[in-house]
Amino acid sequence: MTIEINPPDVTVFAPTLPRTFDTHRQTWQAPAKLTVSVLLHAGYYLDIPEPGQYRALLMPGGVGGSYSELPGGPEAGQVAKVSQYEFGLTNGVDRLLRIAASHGVPCAVALDAYGCQRVPGLARRMAETAGEIVARGEAATSIIDSRMSVQDERDYITSSLAAVREATGADVTGWFSPERGCTDRTTGLLAEAGLSWFGDWTVDERPVPLEGAASGLRSVPFSLDTEDAFQIYTRNGTFIDYEQLLNDTIDRLLADADIVGPRFLGLSWAGWVLGQACYADVADRVLARIAADPDIRVVLPSQVI
């Protein structure tokens, strides 16, 4: 007997995502206790959205003063926020790549269409330096939104993908939606576009092959809880706490691997956040620790299978 508890207009579970639970499934087969991937974000921030674009109501960053603007405050001229995100493209992402290279850690870089088309040399430089290029939609400020028609969403994905592929010359197989924006259809459309993995569903500690319309696509989960923008900006943590959080996470995942099998940790870092000089040592020390541990392997996200 099933007791009727859900109204007809409710979708209870995310479509295409199999529901499996750690102690009720086969162990993930991986050659190390802990597999780590590093994904660096180099998103482009537009002060004013262009017609037809959707943006998140709240995004981390900005002046961060002691009060919020009143409702109906200025929509344009947010120089602080525009330039803060731009820092990731001028300084931050390069600093993080340099740090990773010094530890022999390969990184993926997520680029969007605007960054590739409007920022001179960014795509070329990232293609030369990053281990993998990931498509990150149209712009940090242009996201997938449920008000889109299916064709608009399909066009958003295919045109973003084409822009990143063309500018970098890279064989892009992975996707990360800005602000993790999606609809019921997104995973199916990503599979339809020929992508093999995406990173924005922070749902598990191992890769998850999707089902149904998204068959052929796997979720490589880049954890929200260990994301720099989330902890340092959204949650207002200190960089000291953040480093401790990362080390605690790694310690526990290594220990858990003996109980529930190999674990995956996706580190999602933004050039404009952890690439700041005052925060970058966290990346330096954590990557040094990861690189030195024989129980940890570091691979590119496309290699997480």
Partner 1 sequence: MLSPNERMLYAPMSERPRVTWPNGASVAFWHAPNVEHYDWLGPTVRRPANRVTPPDAEHYMHRDSGNRTAFWRMLRSVDKYQMPSTVSLSLSILQEQPEVRDAMLERDWEIMSHGISNLRPLFGYTPEQEHAFFEISQKLAVTYYDGRPIKGMLGPRISSTYATADIMVEHGMTYFADFVHDEHPRPILTESGKKLVNVPYSFTLNDVPMVLAKSHPKSYLVDLVKAQIDRCLRDAAQDGQGRVVCLATHPFVMGQPNAAAYLEEIFDYVRTTEGVWATTAGAITDHFLDNFYDEQVAYARDLAAEHAGATR
**Interface residues with partner 1 (CB under 8 A)?**
45-48, 62-68, 70, 73-74, 76-80, 82-84, 86-87, 89-91, 94-95, 98, 117-122, 124-125, 167, 236, 238-240, 276-281
290 alpha carbon, distance to own chain's centre = 20
Q: How far apart are CA 183 and CA 146, in angstroms?
A: 5
Minimal distance in Å, beta carbon 265 to partner 1?
24
Phi/psi for 36 (5° steps) reads -120, 135
Minimal distance in Å, beta carbon 50 to partner 1?
11
Minimal distance in Å, beta carbon 282 to partner 1?
9
3-state secondary structure of 133: strand
Minimal distance in Å, beta carbon 165 to partner 1?
13
266: CB partners within 8 A, 6+ apart: 36, 37, 39, 199, 220, 221, 222, 223, 226, 301, 304
Please identify, using beta-carbon distances, which residue of 41 and 125 lies nearer to partner 1. 125
Is residue 71 classed exposed, middle or buried when 0-12, 13-18 and 19+ CB atoms within 10 A define those classes? exposed
Q: How far apart are CA 184 and CA 241, in angstroms?
A: 35
- Identity (one letter) of the amino acid at 268? S
Cα–Cα nearest to 284, from 98, 91, 88 = 98
Please identify, using beta-carbon distances, which residue of 10 and 57 lies nearer to partner 1. 57
Minimal distance in Å, beta carbon 181 to partner 1?
21
Query: Please, are residues 78 and 48 in contact by the beta-carbon 8 Å criterion?
Result: no
Minimal distance in Å, beta carbon 173 to partner 1?
23
Please identify, using beta-carbon distances, which residue of 35 and 160 lies nearer to partner 1. 160
Please identify, using beta-carbon distances, which residue of 81 and 185 lies nearer to partner 1. 81
Please identify, using beta-carbon distances, which residue of 18 and 64 lies nearer to partner 1. 64
